[in-house]
């Protein structure tokens, strides 16, 4: 119950509201029991004694009781729903905030669909536990206490007979509660897998269709959905058996009460009014008991969701500011990578890297896939933390400065352009929302994007769709470059920014990149080696180690790894590029 207690602590700021709701629930319990209490005067005084006075006040009392009960029921429902929804709102905010704090390694280990399920399905199960189940738990407990008072007041001997059945209900409530939590946990895990599958197939629908895998994906979805169906049916079975079992146990008690109570009425030891008042209270008594059983099932479901939600909320980010972290001043001298080793899941990716990059220098990183190029540049904004060594910017260890000041000085343009389902203006201004329209337009012009933007239906207010699906690859890259230009960061990382473009789009994007690189310390991960001829230095990485370093012409003359990569690429791409190079070299 530790997680459930944590949920209840979230309601502490609303304790005054909860007190009002509790008072209303107490009144609901009292009015429910009073209806059973009034059966005795109704039968004995009106129907047996023909008492006119009782006939006058009793109907009015019943109307007032139902009015008060209805008003209190409405009030407590609204208040408890407010508390439950507010707690869920806070949990979602906290959960999302914690996710945003995590490193890239966290998102590598947790599929997107699973995380989406935590925020939607798991939190929804908590909402039911906090609002509906807690309401039922409180209200029905109050009702139970009031009705127990009535039955003992009417006939304490009959009450003791009825109480014999109550201990029998404890075992099934406990047993079904544990079973429900187990099933709920499995259900939520499966729902997360289903959400993950949906996210993958919907975002990758072009690949699915291109490879004619619709049937395969349908079969995967059907299998996962069938698993979810079976788990839901288990939950239904556990929940459904609770009510009839409670009714059967209640029937045993009521059967004994009818026999013993009826015998007392026949013998003249009790009145019909007393007996039926007691019987009505007993019948009303078993209803809150059944609801409490169902509430326990709902609470167990919520606890299962809370365990999964709190597992994220309690997770300490891999990368965060150290105590007393300082703000990194604007870069003036450069970046020093000293004896850096980086391991991913205990596997060495980079080994003893030593490199100095001057401010304003353009340094390109090349090598075969898996050589460690992207891993190296990802260490500079601390997307991952190094395993050994250190990285200095102007002499400051990047682990000693705040993430906000570090990443605020770095702009990134990648091969996989990430745009949002928003307007062109907001995508360019992402991270710089305070920038004026003139600043945004200037950045777009420098990125060669202004002309195509103005041809859109609403210009800068045009929505570009999810991940920019309404525009071309080259247009996406130019918007990404405009975003980086607007950030105006002194350090620029280009991760194969033109490798996925056709020749015409690449020319336009490369021109925009040239504008972006002016006056910045630029780290370029290059796929097409022809795009980095003008780099100040080229670093060749093989299996996580620097094997060559120098300018384009110098490395070609060495006849080493860079020369091999260059000749391989020319062989693959034909002789046109080589002829262009020769023509350029000849002036």
Task: List, in order of start, the domains of the chain with CATH numbers.
Answer: 2-191+236-313 (1.20.1560.10)
Cβ(364)–Cβ(532) below 8 Å: yes
Kindly list the distances between the CA atom of residue 62 and the CA atoms of 58, 65, 552, in Å, as whole numbers in the listed order: 6, 5, 95
Kindly list the distances between the CA atom of residue 103 and the CA atoms of 13, 95, 111, 118, 318, in Å, as whole numbers in the listed order: 32, 15, 14, 18, 6
Helix (H, G, I), strand (E, B) or coil at 575: coil
* Residue-level pLDDT at 107: 81
* Residue-level pLDDT at 156: 75
**Span 422-437, pLDDT tens digits:** 888 988 888 777 788 8
CA dist 296 and 281 (Å) reads: 23
Cβ(348)–Cβ(544) below 8 Å: yes
Structure tokens at 25: 């629930």
Cβ(195)–Cβ(225) below 8 Å: no
168 pLDDT band, cuts 50/70/90, is low
Structure tokens at 482: 């405009």
Higher pLDDT, 73 or 575: 73
**Span 10-52, pLDDT tens digits:** 878 888 988 899 899 889 888 888 888 788 787 777 777 778 8
Higher pLDDT, 300 or 142: 142
**Span 489-516, pLDDT tens digits:** 899 888 876 655 555 666 767 777 777 7
- Look at residues 523, 518, 530 and name the one whose alpha carbon lies nearest to residue 569: 530
Residue showing tokens 């939520």:
188
* Residue-level pLDDT at 586: 30
**Span 182-201, pLDDT tens digits:** 776 677 677 767 777 776 67
* Residue-level pLDDT at 391: 94
> Considering the entire predicted model, what is its pTM?
0.70
* Residue-level pLDDT at 169: 58
* Residue-level pLDDT at 357: 92
CA dist 283 and 285 (Å) reads: 5
Mean pLDDT of 108-135: 77
Helix (H, G, I), strand (E, B) or coil at 354: strand
Element (H, E) at 123: helix 123-127
Report the range out of 207-211, 216-220, 293-297, 480-484 with the highest average pLDDT: 480-484
User: Beta strand 388-393 with 334-344: parallel, antiparallel or unpaired?
Assistant: antiparallel
Count of beta carbons in the 10 Å neighbourhood of residue 241 = 13
Mean pLDDT of all residues belonging to the chain: 80
Within a 13 Å sphere around the CA of 388, how many CA atoms are in the beta-carbon half? Answer: 11
475 pLDDT band, cuts 50/70/90, is confident
* Residue-level pLDDT at 172: 63
Mean pLDDT of 530-541: 84
């Amino acid at each position: 119950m530790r997680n459930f207690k944590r949920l209840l602590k979230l309601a502490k700021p609303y304790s005054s509201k909860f007190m009002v709701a509790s008072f209303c629930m107490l009144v609901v319990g009292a009015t429910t029991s009073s209806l059973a209490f009034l059966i005795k005067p109704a039968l004995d005084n009106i129907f047996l004694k023909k008492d006119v006075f009782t006939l006058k006040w009793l109907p009015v009392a019943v109307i007032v009781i139902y009015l008060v009960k209805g008003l209190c029921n409405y009030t407590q429902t609204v208040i408890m729903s407010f508390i439950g929804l507010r707690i869920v709102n806070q949990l979602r905010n906290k959960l999302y905030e914690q996710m945003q704090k995590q490193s890239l390694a966290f998102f590598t280990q947790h599929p997107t669909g699973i995380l989406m399920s935590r925020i939607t399905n798991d939190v929804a199960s908590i909402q039911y536990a906090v609002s509906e189940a807690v309401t039922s738990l409180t209200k029905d407990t109050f009702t139970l206490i009031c009705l127990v008072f009535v039955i003992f007041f009417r006939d304490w001997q009959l009450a003791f007979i009825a109480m014999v059945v109550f201990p029998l209900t404890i075992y099934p409530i406990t047993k079904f509660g544990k079973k429900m939590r187990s099933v709920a946990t499995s259900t939520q895990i499966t729902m997360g897998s289903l959400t993950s599958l949906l996210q993958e197939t919907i975002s990758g629908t072009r690949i699915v269709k291109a490879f004619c895998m619709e049937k395969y994906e349908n079969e995967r979805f059907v299998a996962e959905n069938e698993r979810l169906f079976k788990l839901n049916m288990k939950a239904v079975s556990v929940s459904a058996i609770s009510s009839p079992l409670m009714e059967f146990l209640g029937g045993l008690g009521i059967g004994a009460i009818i026999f013993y109570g009826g015998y007392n009425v026949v013998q003249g030891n009790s009145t019909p009014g007393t007996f039926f008042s007691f019987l009505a209270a007993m019948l009303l008594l078993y209803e809150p008991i059944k609801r409490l059983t169902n509430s326990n099932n709902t609470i167990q479901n919520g606890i299962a969701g809370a365990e999964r939600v709190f597992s994220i909320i309690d997770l300490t980010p891999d990368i965060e500011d150290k105590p007393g972290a300082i703000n990194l001043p604007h870069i003036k001298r450069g970046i020093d990578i000293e004896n850096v080793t980086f391991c991913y899941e205990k596997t060495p990716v980079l080994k003893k890297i030593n490199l100095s990059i001057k401010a304003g220098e353009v340094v390109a990183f090349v090598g075969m896939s898996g050589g460690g190029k992207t891993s190296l540049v990802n260490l500079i904004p601390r997307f991952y933390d190094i395993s050994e060594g250190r990285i200095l910017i102007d002499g400051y260890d990047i682990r000693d400065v705040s993430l906000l000041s570090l990443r605020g000085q770095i702009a990134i343009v990648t091969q996989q352009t990430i745009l949002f389902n928003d307007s062109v203006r907001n995508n360019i201004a992402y991270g710089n929302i305070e920038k004026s329209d003139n600043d945004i337009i200037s950045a777009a012009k420098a990125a060669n994007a202004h002309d195509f933007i103005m041809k859109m239906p609403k210009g800068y207010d045009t929505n570009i769709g999810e991940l920019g699906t309404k525009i071309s690859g080259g247009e996406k890259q130019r918007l990404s470059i405009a975003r980086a230009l607007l950030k105006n960061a002194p350090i620029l990382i280009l991760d194969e920014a033109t490798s996925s473009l056709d020749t015409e789009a690449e020319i336009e994007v490369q021109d925009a990149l040239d504008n972006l690189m002016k006056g910045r310390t630029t780290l370029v991960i290059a796929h097409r080696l022809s795009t980095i001829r003008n780099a100040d230095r080229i670093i060749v990485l093989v299996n996580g180690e620097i094997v060559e370093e120098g300018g384009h012409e110098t490395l070609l003359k060495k006849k080493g790894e860079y020369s091999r990569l260059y000749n391989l690429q020319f062989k693959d791409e034909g002789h046109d590029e080589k002829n262009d190079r020769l023509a350029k070299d000849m002036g």
